[in-house]
Structure 1
């Protein structure tokens, strides 16, 4: 079904990504960067899916503005939607945005890349969520059944949390050091496009490693089956998405930062307390054809938790360090986060 709003959002996403890349190139080549936000202004980038519901809630309810007023500050909030962690990090490093959001992989990449410089760290986790590898290929019941005729869609190859999860699963399936055994089958595609391709069965995409709500929507179709859940791969619940910023933004904008963190805590509390209202907000922010009861059902899944404390982030960090994707291995999850959350119980 044709959705004009979805086309516009994707066009804006492409423009934002091009702007971020241009800014990054200028910054790298000329030593220049875009203007940093002043106290009372914050520019936030979000992505698609229920993993970003806390951001959708605080955007819809204007919670940042509310918490800013409580601190005596009028905060101007600007939003952009980007389609992957690489675009997030390029935009952040070029000062096109102040806060980037995404999976554990992109966070670890930018944390490692900016140590001793911009010192990018996580503000908070957004959730614990399982990631499913789903397929429409009736011959695939495990990773070992995949052939060169299969194509697995990911939001970004090699850097997204979906890509890293697939690599961990591949090493478990094919043996130590074989983490890249399936990389040749992966393609980068935004979740909405990959979701449509898998469900249509008409495209070359035969697999999609995504997240809520896309994976649950796919499993409503009897032709789609789950190959694995990331909870099985990592040994239990783990952080899916986080939000991060440069150290300078936190230092130079203490009230704006405090207002954002307070708003994020309120958003998570609202989601956990009232799934129906949270579903209404998600549907208002994400135009599409999902029904409210379906979204409420996903939010009620015991495997989905909206929490600011990270879970099993150290598993990803250890893997990325082992395969050479990051040079530095954090001694603790606290190394990756600003100290505001250091009192929480995480892993």
Structure 2
């Protein structure tokens, strides 16, 4: 776990050094550095990478675009890449989006440029004693990719506030441990004593729930009261204004990617397997993509509830009044929530 976090920090440092070595290229129109995360939630960016959709959209507009890709594990490492200037665009969950939006208002001004997916995330357990979060105690450990600040960490805080009261929103933070989803899934399936809960994501939660000893304790849908966008693509207002044609090409590529995912699930599954170097079968991934609770769209859905909660308990200083506060919206008629 410590090695994985150290690797992420080293990779961010290397990316940052590279950006200073070639400062002209870092913000030149026609160049974009994108940081993705593992998992099906960011499938739209994976499709854009695999099919070179950004390059194709740039070519249609008469612009050659050099796209540089990096994959990191966990919202904390991705936030660091964005804030340090080592990345121009990155995949984040709604919780980390709220944090970076709040911290950078009035200067770097990071916001989401597009939603990517509404894929519910599950808190799962292999301990029959735990039937709700009220059963979690001192001997239990919950695997998350970034303690407290990850999407799953923020959702667990929201669930805790509902169960125990707002003053107790961080009650379960001390039971969390940093662990990449793949490692946590392996530990859960093996019955390791290191963890007995995992706030997972797709595809890992589906692998875990195929084991009869593992079951769902609570889901993001339960916590948020319905389906909700779980993954977004984030950038800064400065990069957006300095690179309007590249920004437009990335935005258009995500729309193209969403169209491909909706129309051709077998191809989308194959792309996910290639891009995440997954050993899952195409049939298994297609099963996830066809789940009625899973959708891929650039339109945000039910994102405000988490932001309102984080403001209420003092995690963020600025209260979001609308999804438009933390999304870039070029179209005044754009729909979202």
User: Shorter-chain-normalised TM-score: which range?
Assistant: over 0.9
Q: State the 1:343 CA deviation.
A: 2.8
Are the aligned partners of 2:119 and 2:293 in contact in 1 as well (CA < 8 Å)?
yes
1:233-252 matched pairs, under 5 angstroms: 233-252=223-242
Q: State the 1:20 CA deviation.
A: 2.7
- State the distance in 2 between where 1:22 and 1:184 align: 31
- State the distance in 1 between where 2:13 and 2:134 align: 37
- State the distance in 2 between where 1:233 and 1:113 align: 25
Q: State the 1:126 CA deviation.
A: 0.6
Give secondary structure in 1 for the equivalent of 2:117.
coil
Residue 155 in structure 1 maps to residue 145 in structure 2? yes
Unaligned 5+ runs, structure 1: 1-9
Are the aligned partners of 1:143 and 1:170 in contact in 2 as well (CA < 8 Å)?
yes
What TM-score comes out, normalization by structure 2 length?
0.93
Deviations 1:106-148 (A, max 9, x none): 1111111111101111101111111110001121111122221
- State the distance in 2 between where 1:193 and 1:283 align: 18
Q: Name the CA shift for 1:85/1:58 in 2 (closer, same or farther; >3 Å).
A: same
Please name the residue that 1:18 is paired with: 10
Query: Which of these residues, 300, 323, 336, is aligned with residue 326 of structure 2?
Result: 336
- State the distance in 2 between where 1:194 and 1:57 align: 26
- State the distance in 1 between where 2:329 and 2:5 align: 32
- State the distance in 2 between where 1:154 and 1:164 align: 11
Query: Which of these residues, 293, 309, 312, is aligned with residue 299 of structure 2?
Result: 309
Of the structure 1 ranges 82-91 and 118-127, higher mean CA displacement relative to structure 2 is found in: 82-91
- State the distance in 2 between where 1:217 and 1:268 align: 24
- State the distance in 2 between where 1:324 and 1:59 align: 37
- State the distance in 2 between where 1:122 and 1:334 align: 9
Are the aligned partners of 2:140 and 2:175 in contact in 1 as well (CA < 8 Å)?
yes
Of the structure 1 ranges 197-206 and 68-77, higher mean CA displacement relative to structure 2 is found in: 197-206
Please name the residue that 2:250 is paired with: 260
Q: State the 1:288 CA deviation.
A: 2.8
Please name the residue that 1:4 is paired with: none
- State the distance in 2 between where 1:38 and 1:16 align: 26
Are the aligned partners of 1:16 and 1:82 in contact in 2 as well (CA < 8 Å)?
yes
Q: Name the CA shift for 1:167/1:62 in 2 (closer, same or farther; >3 Å).
A: same
1:197-236 matched pairs, under 5 angstroms: 197-236=187-226
Q: State the 1:37 CA deviation.
A: 2.5
Residue 269 in structure 1 maps to residue 259 in structure 2? yes
- State the distance in 2 between where 1:68 and 1:87 align: 29
Give secondary structure in 1 for the equivalent of 2:309.
helix
Number of matched pairs = 333
Of the structure 1 ranges 83-92 and 32-41, higher mean CA displacement relative to structure 2 is found in: 32-41
Q: State the 1:65 CA deviation.
A: 0.6
Are the aligned partners of 2:72 and 2:78 in contact in 1 as well (CA < 8 Å)?
yes
Of the structure 1 ranges 284-293 and 15-24, higher mean CA displacement relative to structure 2 is found in: 15-24
- State the distance in 1 between where 2:328 and 2:136 align: 41
Q: State the 1:184 CA deviation.
A: 1.2
Q: State the 1:330 CA deviation.
A: 1.6
Q: State the 1:177 CA deviation.
A: 2.0
Please name the residue that 2:95 is paired with: 105
Deviations 1:69-119 (A, max 9, x none): 001111111001111112112111211111121101111111111111011
Please name the residue that 1:278 is paired with: 268
- State the distance in 2 between where 1:23 and 1:44 align: 11
What TM-score comes out, normalization by structure 1 length?
0.91
Of the structure 1 ranges 105-114 and 197-206, higher mean CA displacement relative to structure 2 is found in: 197-206
Residue 120 in structure 1 maps to residue 110 in structure 2? yes
Are the aligned partners of 1:17 and 1:82 in contact in 2 as well (CA < 8 Å)?
no
